[in-house]
């Protein structure tokens, strides 16, 4: 029996749950939100959706007692960026929300793996780890997995090659200081720096970093991309895939995105990258931005 509890059933939480049903990754899904009427209605609607495929997934509006025996608790509760607002701006307001949620989840007897989507996701993942007291491998943030998928999409559009053959990744903060590790990026086995002009790569990196702002300008929020990233992580855990994903993971004394191996235990390990000089500077910069944000947090 695979049990997933989702806290926060707004745009992101609902996009995740509907995909969790269609991928049949879970046997039991529990919804928790401040808005009780909404989740009562959503649980009914989703149960009917599950029935369309003749699945026997149990879906209910629950409470924190349901965290007992859950394999995964997904946190997608919290405030969203306003137009033009940075993710880091949300830090203190979402920290308060995360603190109260994690306390209740742990009081409910949870002993599984947390997946965190709430922004700023690296800092909120750090906070979830701290407030839960769980081992570091059992708290994972979506991090730059979404940014890496956006990067692959843009590159594939530019050079007309399947995303499957594009090995290019974003690391660091899921935010303005993230960067692409071009020195290690390849198309198939050919170094990308030998095939695509540097100016084009720089333009694509800029666009990758600014896509969220653009989407929010148009539709006020982003949700499907991160929801599918949550699905990918959930699948890697439930199927014990040992899949390498750029997710927010413990790095020294903070959380940030580096390639991490994900399996049934959560984060099996996080890899080090042999950066060139320019990338090392960017790495130190993004790390410092996250560290300063954590230090500034009202705890």
Distance CA 222, CA 214 (A): 10
Q: How many residues bind ligand NAD (CB under 6 A)?
A: 32
CA distances from 291 to 88, 177, 179 (A): 12, 12, 17
Q: Residue from 148, 222, 249, 260 that binds ligand NAD (CB under 6 A)?
A: 222
Give me the least distance between CB of 201 and ligand NAD, in Å please. 23
Angle at 221 between CA 101 and CA 76, to 5 degrees: 20
Residues 5-64 binding ligand NAD (CB under 6 A) are: 7-13, 32-35
Q: Does 70 bind ligand NAD (CB under 6 A)?
A: no
- Reference 130, options 88, 102, 94; nearest CA is 102
Beta strands 190-191 and 113-116 are unpaired
Distance CA 36, CA 14 (A): 14
Q: Residue from 20, 77, 155, 256 that binds ligand NAD (CB under 6 A)?
A: 77
> Token pair for residue 287?
């790390």
Select 74 or 192, whichever has its Cβ closest to ligand NAD.
74
Contact between 85 and 119 under an 8 Å Cβ cutoff? The reply is no
Select 21 or 115, whichever has its Cβ closest to ligand NAD.
115
Select 196 or 227, whichever has its Cβ closest to ligand NAD.
227
Give me the least distance between CB of 231 and ligand NAD, in Å please. 13
Q: Does 226 bind ligand NAD (CB under 6 A)?
A: yes
Residues 233-272 binding ligand NAD (CB under 6 A) are: none
Q: Residue from 221, 265, 278, 281 that binds ligand NAD (CB under 6 A)?
A: 221
Q: Does 74 bind ligand NAD (CB under 6 A)?
A: no
Q: Which stretch binds ligand NAD (CB under 6 A): 50-58, 79-87, 190-198, 199-207?
A: 79-87
Select 51 or 100, whichever has its Cβ closest to ligand NAD.
100
Active-site residue, selected from the candidate residues 48, 136, 167, 174: 174
Select 119 or 177, whichever has its Cβ closest to ligand NAD.
119
Give me the least distance between CB of 274 and ligand NAD, in Å please. 27
Q: Does 118 bind ligand NAD (CB under 6 A)?
A: yes
> Token pair for residue 271?
């890899």
Select 10 or 69, whichever has its Cβ closest to ligand NAD.
10
Contact between 181 and 169 under an 8 Å Cβ cutoff? The reply is yes
Q: Determine whether 48 is an active site residue.
A: no
What is the maximum span of the chain, computed from C-alpha positions, in angstroms? Answer: 56
Which residues contact ligand NAD (rule: CB under 6 A)?
A: 7-13, 32-35, 76-81, 94, 97, 100-101, 117-119, 121, 142, 146, 174, 221-223, 226
Q: Provide the annotated active-site residues.
A: 174
């Amino acid at each position: 029996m695979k049990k997933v509890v989702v806290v926060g059933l707004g745009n992101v939480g609902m996009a995740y749950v509907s995909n969790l049903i269609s991928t049949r990754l879970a046997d039991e899904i529990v919804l928790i939100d401040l808005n009780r009427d909404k989740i009562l209605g959503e649980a009914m609607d989703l149960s009917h959706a599950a029935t369309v495929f003749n699945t026997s997934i149990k879906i209910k509006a629950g409470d924190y007692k349901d965290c007992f025996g859950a394999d995964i608790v997904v946190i997608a509760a919290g405030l969203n960026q306003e137009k033009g607002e940075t993710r880091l701006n949300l830090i203190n307001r979402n920290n308060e929300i995360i603190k109260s949620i994690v306390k209740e989840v742990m009081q409910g007897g949870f002993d599984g793996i947390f997946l965190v989507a709430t922004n700023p996701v690296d800092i909120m993942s750090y906070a979830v780890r701290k407030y839960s007291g769980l081992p570091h491998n059992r708290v994972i943030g979506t991090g730059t997995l979404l940014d890496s998928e956006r990067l692959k999409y843009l590159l594939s559009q530019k050079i007309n090659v399947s995303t499957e053959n594009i090995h290019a990744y974003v690391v660091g903060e899921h935010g303005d200081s993230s960067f692409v590790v071009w020195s290690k990026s390849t198309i198939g086995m050919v170094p990308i720096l030998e095939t695509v002009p540097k100016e084009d790569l720089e333009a694509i990196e800029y666009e990758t970093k600014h896509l969220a702002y653009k989407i929010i300008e148009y539709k006020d929020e982003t949700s499907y991309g991160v929801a599918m990233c949550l699905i990918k992580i959930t699948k890697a855990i439930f199927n014990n895939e040992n899949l390498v994903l750029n997710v927010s993971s413990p790095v020294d004394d903070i959380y940030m995105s580096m390639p991490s191996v994900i399996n049934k235990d959560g984060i099996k390990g996080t890899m080090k990258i042999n950066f060139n000089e320019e990338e090392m500077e960017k790495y130190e910069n993004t790390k410092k931005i996250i560290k300063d944000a954590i230090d500034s947090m009202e705890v």
